[in-house]
Chains A and B, each alone.
Chain A
Amino acid sequence: MKTDWTSYPSPGFHDELVGPGGGARAAGRQLMRYLTDMDGDEIAVRQQAAEIAIKAMGITFTVYHEQDGSIDRAWPLDIIPRTISRKEWQKIEAGLVQRAAALNLFINDVYHEQKFIKDGLMPSSIISTSKNFRSVVRGIKPPLGTWAHICGSDLIRDKDGTVYVLEDNLRVPSGVSYMLENRQVIKRVFPELFESAAILPVDDYPSQLYDMLSALSPRKETRPEVVVLTPGIYNSAYFEHAYLARQMGCELVEGRDLAVDSDDVVYMQTVRGWERVDVIYRRIDDDFLDPEVFRKDSSLGVPGLMRAWAAGKVALANAPGAGVADDKLVYTYVPDMIRYYLGEDAILPNVPSWRCGEAKQLEHVLGNLDQLVVKPVDGSGGYGMLMGPMSTRAERGKFADSLKADPRSFIAQPVVTLSTVPTLVNDRLEPRHVDLRPFILSGPQTAVTTGGLTRVALRKGSLVVNSSQGGGSKDTWVVDTDS
């Protein structure tokens, strides 16, 4: 029996593969034809092959478990890819490049003249109350004036087909290694499709990352020593840290491997002695970076690191303080930033948002809690938010209290239904909701990954795509439909 698309239900959502008439959208034509020729069992066999490959390749993520401590889990990958046409992707790419440029200009402005605030576009209290604003970095000029070298922006598509930016991750966004590994696995599973369809490659990312990081080196005359700084093996993204270090041919260091000498230079301790480090791709939050400046109890960081960075002896990516634009309240101003700094209209819209810190907007939010999604401005991983339509009256009551107690810390948005992609569930294809996280590298040039990491909510009807909460992932195909 072949896959029967007439029984594929997609009530009221935008499906990325199946168009309104039941036929494939342009980018997915070959994929659908291919899947149509297979029955559920055959697809299931491919899925098993993918899972075996994932185990064999050791692709894992770490979950912290109360009883067992941290455990490595096999990375969840659904084999049905998410397809996007190249034409649409070019527009998204342009939108992301524009966005990253504006965000970097904004962060630089925040730590220097604060013109955006002085010109009345944003109340200064938003910056002064932002948890990720670092007053100690004011006045510092990082190389190229870039602060957020690596940005992961989450994109979602509503039922009318509009792609929105849901949030920008400017601290230590993760997921790119899974984007790369997903492609490796899917190439093994569907080799025939890669021969026939014009699927754009993704594997250039580690070289682009390395080139961008190298360009930040304070020593132009020598080959720079670039390292990846990890909090250690118990971090949930340790796999990615190790993966990127390996792909770039860099050392994977922990804070205790590094020291800052009285010359403000950062050194790492090797078998051959102390060697100078030029660029640190740090995967540690600001708070833990340098106990001399931030949290005193941090043993993950390097005492003196901020001193070395401020002296221009080492480059840090992302720059300390870049997270100020990661605040979801600041996010609501991004379209204004694009207009202010670049004189352009935003190519990619924000999800409409209410700022709970503003009295009138708070009133609206409190009156419509059952319709809205309310999120903490500094949260990530899908924690601490209220999904209005799925909440109980008691939950809303409790949430309203914390909202009134600290309105600055929340924004509210309408529920965006998230588009769907066919996903293998009990040997059948069923629609499941997805988002997309592309990565933007800002250096001498700006580069965007081809596609990104597609995350999928595996539970029926669920909109929660985070892998720590039962989400899965998909390979993302940007398909050239003209060739």
Chain B
Amino acid sequence: MLARVVENVYWLSRYLERAENTARIIGVNTNLLLDLPGGIAPGWLPLVDISGNRAEFDAKGTKGEERDVVQFLIADRQNPGSICSSLHSARENARTLREILPTEAWELLNEFIGDCTRNVDGAINKRTRFDFLKRIVITLQTIAGMLDGTMNRNDAHTFSLLGRNLERADMTSRIVDVRSAQLLPAETPELRPFETVQWMSVLKSLSGYQMYRLKMRTRVKRTEVLQFLLRDDEFPRSCQFCLKQLESALTPLPRSESVLEVLEGAARFVQRAPLATLDQPGLHELIDDIQLRISNVHSRLAEIYFPSGEISGVQRMTGQSQSQRQTSLSFGASAKS
């Protein structure tokens, strides 16, 4: 299959996954703020940091209030990481894949983008926001289900899995990072009662609360939550699980040795992280490291499989390839620093 085609499938899946996770993050922040006392509530700006698009947000010169942030993260087409932008980017990629994608998935995505654009006011309004976000998550899960349920198991499907799991691993680490390192001030005795609330919200943002209870059989505690979200081998949104998925998708592909090597390095790193003894700054550093490693997996993958414009002997005189354009919009490590 053409390199360009699999690249488009890969980005389609990444954008869908990104839109879904952004919806999850907004939903849970809304919830969390209702539970925390006003004085210590960290507000909305940390979410802009999660998205890695702080500079774009600051350039808008808003007050940075809830309304501004939610608008920026959901509807703002100038924010390349907003839900609407992600969905449109997903559609642009899907457009070239009409022969490969199940028609139902293409149609659902198209209809949904229309719906989303029409009803975006419902997301800004706190009362209707939950329904709006829930519909995003459900619809995107439906599309992912259609792809899994009806696509031939060929290169296109493989790259769909790669895109989804890479983005998911990245977003999970991001959610853990911002929750733990930025959303709440350092732990103090009087804030202890809220710690559980905070970690529950982290789990819930990943639909992981129920699965956590099922697996860990213990109350919600920091180390166990980190363990569960970063390296559980059963929870499908944990970093480790996603990395394992990447590995099994990559193994049958030709020329995958070097990317598997980078991937194994990342998996080993997550596996060996001393989660129980890390303080908050230490955890933040660890997560930065995980994200960098995930971003390296992407770079290696792109180098091997995506259109490079280069062939031995000649250098083609074409413009930027899609991977170059889109990496700069992705939540790479560079966007955060």
Contacts and interface: CB of A to CB of B under 8 A. Distances in A.
Interface of A: 58, 232-233, 242, 245-246, 251-257, 259-263, 267-274, 291, 299, 303-304
A256 B321 contact: yes
A255 B321 CA distance: 12
B2 A261 contact: no
Given A269-B308, A271-B155, A260 B314 contact: yes
B6 A242 contact: no
Nearest to A272: B254
Interface in B300-337: 305, 307-314, 316-319, 321
Contact of A242 (B99, B155, B253, B311): B99
Interface string B76-120: 000000000000000000011011000100000000000000000
Contacts of A246: 99
B2 A269 contact: yes
11 contacts: A232-B96, A242-B99, A245-B99, A251-B2, A256-B318, A257-B307, A259-B314, A259-B316, A263-B313, A269-B2, A291-B317
B308 A271 contact: no
Interface of B: 1-4, 6, 95-96, 98-99, 103, 155, 159, 253-255, 305, 307-314, 316-319, 321
Given A58-B98, A303-B317, A256 B4 contact: yes
Contacts of B311: 259, 261, 267, 269, 274
Contacts of A255: 318
B97 to A, nearest CB: 10
A259 B314 CA distance: 8
A257 B4 contact: yes
A480 B314 CA distance: 56
A246 B97 CA distance: 12
A473 B33 CA distance: 60
Contacts of A262: 313-314
A209 B316 CA distance: 30
Given A259-B311, A259-B316, A304-B314, A271 B98 contact: no
A101 B197 CA distance: 81
Contacts of B99: 242, 245-246, 252
Given A256-B4, A272-B255, A274-B312, 7 more contacts: A242-B98, A256-B307, A257-B307, A259-B311, A270-B1, A273-B254, A303-B318
A198 B310 CA distance: 55
A3 B95 CA distance: 43
B309 A256 contact: yes
Contacts of A58: 98, 103
A273 B3 CA distance: 8
Contact of A273 (B6, B98, B255, B310): B255
Contacts of A253: 2
Contacts of B253: 271
Contacts of B103: 58
B307 A271 contact: no
Contacts of B307: 256-257, 269
Q: Identify the interface centre among B99, B312, B318: most chain A CB within 10 Å of its CB.
A: B318
A274 B307 CA distance: 10
Given A259-B311, A271-B305, A291-B317, A254 B4 contact: yes
Contacts of A271: 1-3, 6, 155, 159, 253-254, 305
Nearest to B4: A257
B100 to A, nearest CB: 10
A158 B179 CA distance: 78
B312 to A, nearest CB: 7
A303 B310 CA distance: 12
A268 B98 contact: no
A423 to B, nearest CB: 30
A269 B4 contact: yes
Contacts of B6: 271
B110 to A, nearest CB: 10
Contacts of B96: 232-233
A304 B103 CA distance: 37
8 tightest Cβ-Cβ pairs between the two chains A and B: A262-B313, A269-B3, A259-B311, A271-B155, A261-B313, A303-B317, A257-B4, A259-B316
B313 A303 contact: no
A163 to B, nearest CB: 37
B2 A270 contact: yes
Contacts of A263: 313
A291 B316 CA distance: 11
A311 B13 CA distance: 41
Q: Identify the interface centre among B95, B310, B316, B319: most chain A CB within 10 Å of its CB.
A: B316
B251 to A, nearest CB: 14
A252 B6 CA distance: 13
Contacts of A251: 2
A256 B323 CA distance: 13
A303 B314 CA distance: 10
A337 B337 CA distance: 71
Contacts of A267: 311
A299 B318 contact: yes
Nearest to A275: B2
A202 to B, nearest CB: 22
A259 B98 contact: no
A335 B2 CA distance: 45
Contacts of B95: 233
Contacts of B312: 261, 274
A35 B188 CA distance: 86
Contacts of B313: 261-263
Nearest to A232: B96
Contacts of A269: 2-4, 307-308, 311
Contacts of A261: 311-314
Contacts of B159: 271
Contacts of A299: 318-319
A252 B4 CA distance: 11
A255 B316 CA distance: 11
A267 to B, nearest CB: 6
Contacts of A291: 317
B2 A257 contact: yes
A60 to B, nearest CB: 10
Nearest to A254: B4
A246 B98 CA distance: 11
Contacts of B309: 256, 259
A344 B120 CA distance: 70
Nearest to A239: B98
Contacts of A232: 96
A299 B316 CA distance: 11
Contacts of A256: 4, 307, 309, 316, 318, 321
A257 B307 CA distance: 7
Contacts of A268: 2
A74 B39 CA distance: 57
A323 B268 CA distance: 61
Nearest to A260: B314
Nearest to B321: A256
Nearest to A251: B2
Nearest to B312: A261
Contacts of B321: 256
A148 B318 CA distance: 29
A89 to B, nearest CB: 33
A267 B312 CA distance: 11
B118 to A, nearest CB: 16
